[in-house]
A = this chain, B = another copy of it.
Amino acid sequence: MNDIKFINGGVTAPKGFLASGVHAGIRKNKTKKDLAIIVSEVPANASAVYTTNLVKGAPIYVTQENLKNGKARAVICNSGYANTCAVGGKELALATCEIVEKHFGIPKTDIIVASTGIIGQLMTLEPFEKGVPLLKENLSIIEGGEDASEAIMTTDTFKKQVAVSFTVGGKTAVIGGIAKGSGMINPNMATMLAFLTTDIAISAKMLKKALSEDTQKTFNMVSVDGDTSTNDMYSIMANGMAGNKEITKDGEDFKAFCTALNAVSTALSKMLAKDGEGATKLIECTVEGAKSEKTARLCAKSVISSSLFKSAMFGADANWGRVLCALGYAGADINVNKISVSFSSLAGTAEVCENGMGLNFCETNAKKVLSEKEIFVKINLNSGDKSATAWGCDLTYDYVKINGDYRS
C-alpha cells in the first residue's frame, strides 16, 4: 500500500490503453482540440458516477445505459457543446457511439460518451463523422494521452493528467487519469469530467464500490463556484492487463487499489481547484477534531465555497471571521466556542482564532502567509477525531470576466 509512485502520463500509462485528441470542428477555433477518445485494447470492466443535477446532459443517459452491464472499452468526449437541453441530444449521443463502433470495431454499447461546454445549443453529427476517423489515425500512447487531456478542456488553463504505479497481489499495476474542470464546479456525487483507466483486474461491482467511496473524499470536496454542472461524470475502465488475480471482494488487494485510486483522484481534484476559473490560488482547507466525517466534510466544503472567504483570499486578507461565519452556516454539528483556525503556506503560519475568539496576530506576517500560491486553512473543531479536506480557489476579477460573456 505504501509503494504508490507517481509516474509520467495519464490515461495511457496503464497497460493496453491508447488515446487521441483532435480538432473535429465542433469549436470555431481550429487550434483548439475538441474531440477525445480513450480506448482499451481488450474488454474492460467499467463504472461511473454522475451529476446529481436534475438537468442532465444527454450523454449521461446514454452512458448510464451502456454501463449497466459493468463493461466499457472506450470513452468518447467532446468539448465546446454540452449536448444538454438541446433537441435531439440523445439521438446525437447514440449516433456518436455508432460512429465509434464503425471505425474502432468496439460495440456501441461498450462506450462511455461525454460532452462539456455550452448548454442548450444544437450540435450536429458532422464533426463526429469527420473527427472519429482522425481520432483513429492519431491513436497512440504518449502523445495521444496528452492530446486527449487537451481536447476535453473548456476554460481550463492547463491539462490535468496524473498516473501512479503500485503493487497489488504481487503484480505492478497502474492507474491513470485525466480531468477537466474550471467553472460550474461543485461536484456532488460525481464530478465535472474525470476519466480514469487502470490495468488492474477487478470486478465491475468492486470498481463501482471503490468509485462511489472515493468520490466522497476527492472530487465531491472540490468547489470553484457552487454550481453543480449538468454533465459531471467520473468514470474508470479496468482492463486486467496487470495480470493480478481479479479483485472480487474486500481485502488487502482492494485496499491497495482504493489507496492508489485516492492518490490519483486527489491529485486531479487539486488540479481542478487550482485551475478554477480566474483562480490565482489553490486553497486547501482541512477540518480536524470533528465528531463525524460528515461534519468535517460539511465544514471544509462550506469554508471553501464562501464567496466572501474566497474574495478575502484573493486579497491576501486574513479575515478569519469569514471562516467562522461559513462554519456557522455549514449545517454541521459544531461547538463554536471550541474552534481554532490557522492559515499557513510556504511563507509560514498565522494562528488567528482560538476557542471561537480572535487571537492578537501579526497582520504583516498573515499578509505574507496569504500572498503565496497555495494556502492551507487548518480548522480544529476540538470535538472529536474525524477529519476531512476540501479544495477550492480564490474568487477574482477574472472569474467574473470569464463568466460575464462565456458564450462569445
Contact = CB atoms under 8 A, between A and B. Distances in A.
Interface in A144-170: none
Given A86-B358, A356-B85, A317 B407 contact: yes
A311 B229 contact: no
B225 A321 contact: no
Contacts of A183: 308
A299 to B, nearest CB: 11
Contact of A328 (B54, B225, B397): B54
B400 A227 contact: no
A53 interface: yes
A221 interface: no
A58 to B, nearest CB: 11
A308 B118 contact: no
Number of identical monomers bound together in the oligomeric complex: 2
Interface in A89-139: 118-122
Contacts of A324: 55, 84-85, 119-120, 230
A353 B52 CA distance: 22
A316 to B, nearest CB: 8
Nearest to A324: B55
A349 interface: no
A230 B54 CA distance: 32
Interface in A309-357: 311-312, 314-315, 317, 319-322, 324-329, 334, 336, 353, 356-357
Contacts of A326: 227
B311 A54 contact: no
A44 to B, nearest CB: 31
Contacts of A228: 325, 328-329
Interface string A395-408: 11101111111111
A64 interface: no
Interface size class of A (residues with CB under 8 A): 35 or more
A184 interface: yes
Contacts of A306: 226-227
B53 A329 contact: yes
B353 A85 contact: yes
A405 B312 CA distance: 6
A237 B31 CA distance: 66
Contacts of A227: 306-308, 322, 325-326, 329
Interface of A: 52-56, 82, 84-87, 118-122, 183-184, 186, 188, 225-230, 305-308, 311-312, 314-315, 317, 319-322, 324-329, 334, 336, 353, 356-358, 395-397, 399-408
6 contacts: A84-B324, A86-B357, A119-B319, A119-B321, A315-B406, A319-B406
Given A120-B321, A226-B307, A311-B399, 20 more contacts: A54-B329, A55-B328, A55-B356, A82-B321, A85-B324, A85-B357, A86-B357, A87-B358, A119-B322, A120-B324, A120-B353, A188-B329, A226-B226, A227-B306, A227-B325, A228-B325, A307-B307, A307-B403, A317-B404, A317-B408
CB-based closest 8 A-B pairs? A119-B321, A315-B404, A55-B328, A311-B403, A120-B358, A53-B328, A228-B329, A315-B405
